[in-house]
Amino acid sequence: MVSESRFSSSYAKLAIAIIAGLLAMRLLLVVFSPLELYADEAQYWRWGQSLEWGYYSKPPMIAWMIHISTAFFGDSEWAIRLFAPVFHAISATFLFLLSRRMFSDLAGLFTVLAYLLMPGIVLSSGVISTDGVLFPFWTIALYLFWRLREDDLGWIGVVALGLAIGAGFLSKYAMLYFAIGVALTSLIDRDTRGAVLSQKGMSALLIAAATFAPHMIWNAANEFQTVSHTVDNANLGGQLFNLENLPKFLGDQMGVFGPVSFIALLAGLTVIRPRGELADLGDAAHAQRTKETWLACFIVPVLIIIAFQAVLSRAHANWAATAYPAGSVWIGGFLIRATGWRIAFWSGLAFQGVVGMLATALALGPPSWSAAIGRDNDLKRVRGWQDLSAQLALEVERLQPSAILVDEREVWHGLDYYLKDTLETPLIMWRYNPGPKSFAERVDLADIDRSRVLVASYRSNLRPPIKADFQTWQPEGAISVDLGHRSNGCPIQRELRLYLAGDYDAPPRTAEWTQAFKVEDEDGNLVDSHIDRPERCPKS
């Protein structure tokens, strides 16, 4: 430890240089990236066209940030994504400050590397996402909360802590895990409990509540749209308790945090505890354990809750992402005491670096590169939208419809963004349900001119019920873009079948209406009927 502390300023300078260097490189990649927006990014951009205290499926912060960046730089893809690498550089800076305060400058360097080079952050630095917007507020709050616990936070810091917590909730409801961490640390740690119950602690919590309150007022005035979508996203209506999902969840987390970092995190939290080494250090060992346990309160609950969600129903890989800011600090402290893991850590970073450079090359290079190694499917969501939109614009010019109707949310958002400067014809998302179930469905076709509707259909199984909403239905061909091939050789194509429909008269969405579009398969089971179903690729 003596030799490490002697070079502490060098470690700090190196950490800051890494943060600045990666920020500059990732900003350049964002600016020169040929990748188009994926559906969620296009949705967030659309939200940002009007500033609200909430939106259909997310709190407002991501839309506000996109509004700011596009106000200065326009509505291009790079302007929409501009803040993504900046947010992670801010997060890494505050994690470094926390790690060096808890452990040492060397630990801070390990933390910066663990955070900025984790695969999830490499990916998130190139796209705008709610996790990316949340993390700077999360890390600022974590740093300031530790300082509050140390009784080293002035009133300006208290205000900043409250604002950071509130802004975190305005970014993503996953900030609730931070609240769980605050509750757990208060329960098990006397110093934290005293800090939370102090005048400064209560003031910070009140400021956080006041910051978040306008969003909840907006929710109450809008039928709790954001809250209800979050509940629906848990998908608890299907078969419960799927234990086979647990290995996939663990594998996904290795992909998000990095395999070596995740294994070291689990091992350090559950198995590898070098008690003999720490026992010789006396008070230092107790302090080390206290800090690790404090950080674990912001890690373990997230992993347990999302693992349980995965077993109960499903869980996307990024749902546990909020475990990893504190996890990165934990790794920094762990590598200070468990020096035998450092070789594995450096090896893991080298592996992640190679994979990251390969992924970057595929993203920035021509489609032939991803095709050569069978990875076209990984990039299909960020390719082809501009081409498809241009083709649709020509069809609209030819057919002169009063409205365009689509049947897939991702298609609606892709067309909405890439037709923004081309068409004034209303773009409508067809409603399968009686009311809207996504932001794209907020406008009902019944409320606009539907005398001559161009149906641009992606899903063949939805065409029978869409056709039933109209009295006239005339095929008008198809438009499509080729997106490469799957790893099994099957082509990837985004095709929209076109139909000119009129005399709109939608029947009530009842159970009988749903059953009317079911047919029996060869085994006697009821399945969806289809219109103009694409041929399935025969390759296995």
Detail the DSSP E strand segments found in 377-434: 403-406, 427-429
Report the pLDDT value the prediction gives residue 2, as an integer from 0 to 100. Answer: 37
Q: What is the CA radius of gyration of the chain?
A: 26
Domain residues of the chain, as ranges?
2-222+238-363, 381-528
Report the pLDDT value the prediction gives residue 271, as an integer from 0 to 100. Answer: 65
CA distances from 275 to 138, 260, 266, 332 (A): 31, 22, 17, 18
Q: In the structure encoding, which two tokens stand for residue 396, read together? A: 């609209």
Report the pLDDT value the prediction gives residue 444, as an integer from 0 to 100. Answer: 93
pLDDT digits (tens, 9 = 90+) for 342-381: 999 999 999 998 888 888 888 888 888 888 888 889 899 9
Report the pLDDT value the prediction gives residue 379, as an integer from 0 to 100. Answer: 92
DSSP state of 382: G
Q: In the structure encoding, which two tokens stand for residue 253, read together? A: 């987390």
Report the pLDDT value the prediction gives residue 238, as an integer from 0 to 100. Answer: 53
Report the pLDDT value the prediction gives residue 526, as an integer from 0 to 100. Answer: 85
Q: In the structure encoding, which two tokens stand for residue 292, read together? A: 């690790």
Q: In the structure encoding, which two tokens stand for residue 473, read together? A: 């239905």
Q: In the structure encoding, which two tokens stand for residue 333, read together? A: 């402290």
Q: Tell me how far apart the alpha carbons of residues 190 and 138 are, in angstroms, rounded to a whole number.
A: 23
Q: Tell me how far apart the alpha carbons of residues 274 and 276 are, in angstroms, rounded to a whole number.
A: 6
CA distances from 118 to 177, 197, 321, 353 (A): 20, 36, 11, 9
Q: Tell me how far apart the alpha carbons of residues 412 and 408 are, in angstroms, rounded to a whole number.
A: 6
Residues of the chain scoring pLDDT < 70: 1-8, 228-242, 271-282, 539-540
Shortest CA distance to 318 belongs to which of 55, 129, 42?
A: 129
Asked whether the beta carbons of 530 and 513 are under 8 A apart, the reply is no
Q: Tell me how far apart the alpha carbons of residues 434 and 513 are, in angstroms, rounded to a whole number.
A: 11
Report the pLDDT value the prediction gives residue 33, as an integer from 0 to 100. Answer: 93
